Amino acid sequence: MNDFDPMLDALVVAEVRGGNRQAYGMLIDRYQVRLRAALSACLLHSDEIEEFTQEAFVQAFVKLEQYDSAQPFYPWVRTIAMNALRMEARSRSTATRHAGDYLRQVLLERALDDTQDERSDARVHALDRCLRTLPSDAAALLKDKYQSEHSIAELAARHRTSEGALKVRLLRLRDRLRECIEKRLTAGIG
Amino acid sequence: MADIDTLLAEVIDGDADATTLGRVADLVRTDAATKDRFLAHVAIAGALRARYLPATRLADLRQRTLANLVSADDLAHTGRSVLDRLPARPAPAVRRSWWVPLGFAAAAALLTVVLLIPKTPPAASLLAGNDGAVLMRQRSLVPLTLSMPLNNGDRLTSGPQPLTLGFLDGTQVVLAADSALILERVAAGKRLRLERGQMQTEVAKQPEGEPLLALTTRTAVTVIGTQFQLATAKGSDFVAVQAGSVTVQRGADGALATVTGGRALVIGINQPLNTIAITTPAAGTPRGPLALSTANWNGTGSGLRGDYYADHKFTRLAGSRIDPHIRFDWPGAPLDTMPADHFTVRWSGRIQPRVSGVYTFTLRADDGVRLWIDGKPLIDTWNRPDIADQRGSISLEAGQLYDLQLHYFENDKAGEITLWWQAAGQTKEIVPRSQLYSP
C-alpha cells in the first residue's frame, strides 16, 4: 500500500481545496490507523486517542492551505497531532497529585521528545514483523483482546483462564513483543 | 506486596482502581526501570489497539471528522475557532459544532423530499472493501463508501483488501487487492476493463445479444453467464473458469479460444491458446478472495540446498541442509557452527513454475543478495545492500525446471531474507517448497 505516496496525497488535497470536502475522507482512511498508533504511545485511554486523532484531522483541514503538496500528508498531520499533545503536556504541572493524572502526565511528556514521532512509526512497522514470530494461540489472544474490545472477564472466560492469569499473560506477550521490537529497532531493520 | 507486573497489567488493561493507580504512580515516580516498563507497555498496547481496531470504529471517526470540518474560510466568516485548547480530560467522542442542529434540520428536510421520490436501484454499487480504495470519477477523486452507486467510466483502485461490486442483475465482481478496474458500462452489455491485477467474477445470466465483456489491454473475454477469474500482468493474461464457459479473444492477432468450466488459459503474445485443466471448488463451496487455482502444476519438490559459510567469500563451509523455502529472520547465527555476523549462504537448485508467463521475483534481504534464474541475473544488491524489496522479472513456462542460484551475505546485527514470486494467475506468495528442488 502506498502509505506515503505524495502524488496521491497531492491529488486528494487538490480535490479538497477545490471544494470537495468528502474527498478529505480518503486521507483519513489512509492515515488514521498510523496516527492512532503514534498518539497511543502518549495516551492511555482510547477515547482520548480518538479525540486527538479527530482533532488533528480537523486542524489539518483548517490549515490545508499551508500544506506543501510536494510532501507526503501523513508526517504533516502527525506533527499537528504531536504539537497538540505537547501543548497539553506543557499546560499541566508535573507535580500533579492525583495518581491517574500523574501517569497521564508521564505519558504526555513523551510527546516533548522530538524523536518520539519517528520511533512510533518504526515501532508500528516492527510490530507487524514481531507478531509473526508469536505462536498462533498467542497471536489469536492479542487479536481477541485488541479487536473485540471484550472485557478482561469476558476474555478470561473465552480463553478458560482466570482474569489475573490472563492479564499477566498479556503483559508477558507485550514484553516479548517489546524485546523483539527493540531488537529490530536497534538493528535498524524496523 | 502485589507483583509489579500485576499492577501494571491492571493499569494498562484499563480497569485499575484508585489504589492500584496510586501504587503504580508511586513506583513510576520513584523507579526509573518501572517507568520505562510502563511507557513501553502503553506504547505496545496502543500500537496493538490501533492495528486491530475494528473497521466500524475507523468508519465512525471518518464520519465524525468529516461532519466537523470547518475550513479557514468558514472561520473567517463565523469567528469561531476549532483550534481551541483540547480538553484535559477524555471528552465525548462526538464534538458538536454550532451548525450541527442546523445541519440536522436541513438533512431532515432533504430526506423528506428524497423519500417522496420513487427510488431506482443503481445499476452497480460497492458492496465491500472500501478501506484504502480509490475511486476516480470524471478526473476527480471521490471517497468510496459502502452501497454507493457506481457509474459508467468510474475507475476503481483497490487498497490492501479486495473490493466487491454488485450489479443490479446479481452479477458480482471481486477486485483483488492492489488492482485497478474501469467500469466502462454498468448496465446491460456490461464492459469491465481490468487495468491491473486480478478479478473474480460471478456473472448472472446476461440478456440475449448483450454479453458481459471483460477486457485487458490484450484480451477480451465474452461472457453470457458463468464464474471466471481474470488476471493481467506484464506480458500475459490469465483466465480461469469455474463453471459455464467464456470466449477469449487475443487482441494482437484476433485468435479465439473457448474456455469451459474447470479449464484455464494463459494468453501470452506468441503462445498457442491451449487451455489447461484446473481444480475447481465443489458447487456451493464459498470461494476465497481470488485464490487462483494452479493445481495442475503443483510440484513435488522439497526445497533448495543451502550451503552456509562462516565468512564473506564462500570459503569456510559451516554446514549444508535442504531449506524448504527462503524465509529467514536471524537475530543470531543460522547454524551453531557459524558466527552471528559476517557470514554467507548459497542456495542452489531448480524452480518449477505453476503457470506460464512472466514471473516477478521479490527479495527482501538484510544485507546483500544476488539471484539468478535460468542463468540470468535478476536481482543484485551485492555491492550496494538495500533492505527495501528488490524485484526482477523473467518469462517462464509452466512445469519446466529452471536453475536457481541465490547468494546472500550478512554483515552485522540481525539478518533476514525472504523470496516471493508472482505471475498472472498466481498471487504473490513465498516460493513454496513444492516448487523448489535441490540440485
Nearest CA to B197 out of B210, B170, B183, B216 is that of B216
Q: Are the C-beta atoms of B132 and B159 separated by less than 8 Å?
A: yes
pTM: 0.45
d(CA B403, CA A109): 57
Query: If we measure between CA atoms, which residue out of A154, A128, A129 comes closest to residue A141?
Result: A154
Q: Give the rounded percent of residues in chain B with a pLDDT score beyond 70.
A: 79
**Å between B97 CA and nearest CA of chain A:** 12
Taking CB atoms and an 8 Å cutoff, what residues of chain A touch B130? 29
Give the nearest partner residue to A168 out of B9, B29, B72, using CB atoms: B9
Report DSSP letters for B276-324, one per residue.
Answer: EE---PPTTPPPPSS----GGG------EEEEEESSSSS-SEEEEEEES
Taking the CA of residue B137 and the nearest CA in chain A, the distance in Å comes to: 12
Chain A residues whose beta carbon lies within 8 Å of the beta carbon of residue B51: 33, 37, 124, 127-128, 146
Cβ neighbours of B95 in A, within 8 Å: 51, 54-55
Identify all chain A residues contacting B70, using CB atoms and an 8 Å cutoff.
58, 61-62
Inter-chain contact B43–A184, Cβ cutoff 8 Å? no
Which of the pair, B58 or B88, is modelled with greater confidence? B58
Q: Write the pLDDT tens digit of every residue in B286-340.
A: 333 333 333 346 777 889 999 999 998 899 999 999 999 998 888 778 888 888 8
Mean pLDDT confidence for B218-240: 79
Q: Are B350 and B322 in contact (CB under 8 A)?
A: no
Give CA–CA dist B353/B332, Å, rounded: 33
Contact residues on chain B for A145, CB-CB shorter than 8 A: 48
pLDDT given for residue B312 in this prediction: 86
Asked if B61 lies within 8 A of A32 by C-beta distance, the reply is yes
Q: Which three cell numbers stand for residue B376?
A: 540470468
Ranking B118-127, B135-144, B200-209, B422-431 by mean pLDDT, the lowest is B118-127
Pick from B5, B10, B13 the residue to mutate for testing the A interface (most A CBs within 10 Å).
Answer: B13
- Interval B187-191 mean pLDDT: 88
Q: If DSSP codes are grouped into helix, strand and coil, which group holds residue A8? A: helix
Look at residue B271 and tell me whether its pLDDT is greater than 80.
Answer: no
Residue the block writes with cell 487462483: B292
What is the distance of C-alpha B148 from the center of its chain? 23
Quick check: B110 pLDDT over 70? no
Task: Report yes or no: B414 and B404 within 8 Å, Cβ to Cβ.
Answer: no
Is B412's pLDDT higher than 80?
no
Minimal C-alpha gap between B328 and chain A (Å): 11
Give the closest-approach CA distance of A66 to chain B in angstroms: 11
- Which residues have CB under 8 Å from B72's CB, separation 6+? A62, A63, A64, A65
> Whose grid coordinates read 478458560?
A160
CB-based burial label for B434 (10 Å; 0-12, 13-18, 19+): middle
Q: Are B228 and B201 in contact (CB under 8 A)?
A: yes
Predicted confidence at residue B377, as pLDDT, reads: 92
Residue with cell 480518538: A50
Interchain CB contacts (distance < 8 Å): A and B: 235
**Dihedrals phi, psi of A30, to nearest 5 degrees:** -70, -35
A61/B69 touch (CB, cutoff 8 Å), yes or no: yes
Task: Report pLDDT for B47.
Answer: 84
Q: Of the spans B131-140, B279-288, B331-340, which averages the highest pLDDT?
A: B331-340
**B416 and A177: CB-CB below 8 Å?**
no
Q: B53 to chain A: which residues are within 8 Å by CB?
A: 33, 36, 146-147
- Picking from B19-28, B93-102, B247-256, which range would have the lowest pLDDT averaged per residue? B93-102
Q: Cβ contact (<8 Å) for B61 and A52?
A: no
pLDDT at B373: 94
Q: How confident is the model at residue B344 (pLDDT cuts 50, 70, 90)?
A: very high
- Inter-chain CB proximity B49 and A24 less than 8 Å: no
Indicate which of A36, A67, A107, A130 best probes the interface with B, i.e. most B CBs within 10 Å of its own CB.
A36
Min Cα distance B89 → chain A (Å) is 8
Stretch (H or E) spanning B147: none
Cα torsion for B44, B49, B52, B56, to the nearest 10°? -160
CA-nearest residue to B48 within chain A is A146
Higher pLDDT, B101 or A42: A42
B121 pLDDT band (50/70/90 cuts)? Answer: low
**For chain A, how big is the Rg over CA atoms in Å?**
19
Q: In degrees rounded to 5, what are phi and psi of residue B156?
A: -110, 130
Q: Which residues of B touch A183 (CB under 8 A)?
A: 331, 414
DSSP B185-219: E-SSS-EEEEEEEEEEEEPPPPPTT--EEEE-SSE
Q: CB A54 to CB B5 under 8 A?
A: no
Mutate to test the interface with B, among A8, A44, A69, A186 (most CBs of B within 10 A): A44
pLDDT band at B84 (very low <50, low <70, confident <90, very high): very low
Contact A12 B141 (CB under 8 A): yes
Q: Which one of A39, A167, A173 would you mutate to disrupt binding with B, by most B Cβ within 10 Å of its Cβ?
A: A167
Among residues B258, B260, B167, which one has the least CA distance to residue B212? B167
Q: Which residues of chain A have pLDDT under 50?
A: 1-3
Mean pLDDT of B272-285: 56
pLDDT of residue B113: 47
Q: E strand or H helix at A34, and its extent?
A: helix A24-39
pLDDT of B280 above 70: no
Supply the mean pLDDT for chain B.
77
Of residues B404 and B240, the one with the higher pLDDT is: B404
State the smallest CA–CA distance between residue B335 and chain A in angstroms: 19
Contacts of B72 in chain A (CB under 8 A): 62-65
CB B230 within 8 A of CB B181: no
Chain A residues near residue B85 by CB distance under 8 angstroms: 87, 91
**Residue B170 confidence class, pLDDT cut points 50, 70, 90:** confident
Q: Which residue of B has its CA nearest to A54?
A: B65
Per residue in B363-394, pLDDT tens? Answer: 988 889 999 999 999 999 888 877 778 888 98
Mutate to test the interface with B, among A1, A62, A77, A113 (most CBs of B within 10 A): A62
Binary contact (A189, B387; C-beta < 8 A): yes
Enter the DSSP assignment of A177. H
Of A37, A57, A64, the CB nearest to B46: A37
Question: Is A1–B47 a contact, with Cβ atoms under 8 angstroms apart?
Answer: no
CA A174, CA B46: separation in Å to the nearest integer?
Answer: 11
Residue B431: per-residue pLDDT: 92
Name the pLDDT band for B62 (thresholds 50, 70, 90): confident
Predicted pLDDT of residue B427: 76
Contacts of A175 in chain B (CB under 8 A): 41
Q: What is the predicted pLDDT for the residue at B279?
A: 54
pLDDT tops 70 at residue B273 = yes
**pLDDT for residue B202:** 85
Chain A residues close to B48, C-beta within 8 Å: 127, 142, 145-146, 174, 177
CA distances from B254 to B218, B219, B251, B257, B426 (A): 10, 9, 5, 10, 25
In chain A, residues with a C-beta closer than 8 Å to the C-beta of B34 are none
B86·A143 Cβ contact <8 A? no
Closest in B24, B57, B91 to A103, CB measured: B24
Q: In Å, how far is A159's CA from the nearest CA of chain B?
A: 16
Measured between alpha carbons, how far is residue B65 from residues A32, A35, A38, A66, A82 in Å?
11, 14, 18, 20, 18
